[in-house]
Amino acid sequence: MPQYWLMKSEPDEVSIDDLARAPGKRVPWTGVRNYQARNYMRDQMRIGDGVLFYHSSCAEPGVAGIASVCSAPYPDATQFDRRSKYYDPKSDAAAPRWMHVDVKLVKRTRLLPLREMRTRPELAGMLLLRKGNRLSITPVTEDEWRAVLALLDL
């Protein structure tokens, strides 16, 4: 049973175009420093799970493409890199605190703006749209997944 996720990325850091240009069209999902989001990657994601690739903190936030989980979880190298803004001095190399998966591009799509998502009754239950939500990774139900794909003409 595949599961589905929505993963936020700031396009200034990694956009859908960056993903399309990356070697193998895949990137390690580094930099997550929230335990709940980490736990989703570490404990629940499986290779092949569907991902809505979402652009956040930008002029037009919204879903920018479809991706999929393409690795098992493994330690985030940036937590041990002193020069990285994601450096975590409290993380122990013997028991890394931050884990992530790799994500690969499935298909670029039109941008489905957050603004439009808010108008669709079939998406009203999405965690993304819930007031106060800040999580960068949220589970998506199969119905929501299908509804988003339908809006993208997929």
- The sheet carrying 26-28 orders its strands as 26-28, 102-113, 62-69, 50-55, 4-9, 137-140
Instruction: Pick the stretch among 13-21, 44-52, 70-78, 125-133 that binds DNA (CB under 7 A).
Output: 125-133
Residue (68 or 136) nearer to DNA, CB:
136
Q: According to CB under 7 A, which one of 136, 147, 148, 149 is a site residue for DNA? A: 136
Cα angle 96, 101, 105; round to 5? 155
d(Cα 74, Cα 27) in Å, to the nearest integer? 13
The answer to the question of residue 114 lying near DNA (CB under 7 A) is: yes
**Burial grade of 53 (CB within 10 A; 0-12, 13-18, 19 or more):** buried
Q: Which of residues 39-98 bind DNA (CB under 7 A)?
A: 56-58, 61, 90
Which of 8, 41, 52, 148 contacts DNA by CB under 7 A? 8
| DSSP H helices in 1-154 | 16-21, 35-39, 114-119, 142-151
The smaller minimum CB distance to DNA, of residues 25 and 30, is found at 30
Q: Which of these ranges, 16-24, 40-48, 104-112, 129-137, lies near DNA under the rule CB under 7 A?
A: 129-137
First vs last Cα of the chain: how many Å apart? 20
* Interaction site with DNA (CB under 7 A): 8, 10, 33-36, 56-58, 61, 90, 114-115, 118, 131-136
